[in-house]
Amino acid sequence: MAGVPKRADSRCPTHPGAFLREIVLPALPMPKTELARTLGISRQSLYDILAERQPVTPAMAVRLGAVFETTATSWLNMQTAYDLWHAERKVDTSKMKPLRLAS
């Protein structure tokens, strides 16, 4: 996309909970407890997502998509980018050798 700066590879992608906490919640005309009720989840589940202690699951992505008129895919893509960034830094692949497929 022209004109949109690319995130540096060294910078962790935004957790969807941080996006909700920093961008979405301040624009909502309701408290967090009401958002949890609207999503059909417990307050604790919402607080865990907002605190980045819980991931956005496919089921949660569907709920968020429905409530905010977005796609579940957008929420899952955000979570996947976050998870993959951490996995690439945590998983040691130094002893793994590429496999060659037989032709």
What's 73's domain CATH number? 1.10.260.40
Q: What is the rounded CA–CA span in Å between residue 44 and residue 97?
A: 43
Number of domains present in the structure of the chain: 1
- The boundaries of the domain holding residue 71 are 16-88
Q: What is the pTM of this model?
A: 0.86
On whether residue 4 sits in a domain, the answer given is no
For residue 75, CA distances in Å to 24, 65, 69, 70, 96 come to 13, 8, 11, 8, 32
Q: What is the pLDDT of residues 36-89, one digit of tens each?
A: 999 999 999 999 999 999 999 999 999 999 999 999 999 999 999 999 999 999
- Could you tell me the pLDDT band of residue 4, with boundaries at 50, 70 and 90? low
Residue 61's CB: how many other CB atoms inside 10 A?
22
Whether 73 is covered by a domain: the verdict is yes
